Amino acid sequence: MGWVYADSCAGQKVLYETGMTGIPIFNVNNNCSTGSSALFLARQSVASGLVECALALGFEQMTPGALGMVFSDRPIPMQTFFEKLFEVIPSVEGVAMASMLFGGAGVEHQKKYGTKNETFAKIAVKARKHGRAHERAIFRIS
C-alpha cells in the first residue's frame, strides 16, 4: 500500500475494510517514488517465490498545489537532499521544491550522460499537454 500523507498502518485499514485480512500488508511511503516502490516490492515477492500473487495499491487525499511541508513540529527528512541539491543548482524563491529536486536530477543527468536540453523540452511539452487536460494538475501552463 503506497501513500505519502496517511497515518501509520493506513494500508491495513484500507484492505481490512474490503474484507481482505490474514495477508501481509506493507505500507510504502517514498514520495514521488511510492508507486514504483510498491510495484517493486510486489514484483520481488512474486519473483522470489514468496507469493504466487501480489497486489500493489496506492491512495492519497491530496491538497491542491505542490507537495509541501506538512509537519512543522520536526525537521523535514528531505533536508539532506535539499542541501545537496543547492550545491548543484541555486534555490529559487517561490518554486516548488519537487520542481527543483527533479530539475537538479536533470542537471546531474546531463552532466553524467550528455542529455541535451531538447530531450527535456520534449518531456516538458508532453507534461504540459497532460496538465492542460487535467483540472487538478499543479501546472496547467499551455
What's the mean pLDDT in 75-88? Answer: 82
**C-alpha to C-alpha distance for 127 and 23, rounded to whole angstroms:** 38
**For the chain, domain boundaries:** 1-61, 79-132
Residues facing residue 58 across a β-bridge:
2
98-109 confidence digits (pLDDT tens)? 888 888 888 889
How far, CA to CA in Å, does 64 sit from each of 11, 32, 116, 136?
A: 23, 16, 32, 7
Question: Rounded to a whole number, what is the largest CA-CA distance in the chain?
Answer: 51
Q: Which residue has the cell 500500500?
A: 1
Q: Note the pTM of the prediction, 2 decimals.
A: 0.64
* CA dist., res. 120 & res. 81, Å (int): 22
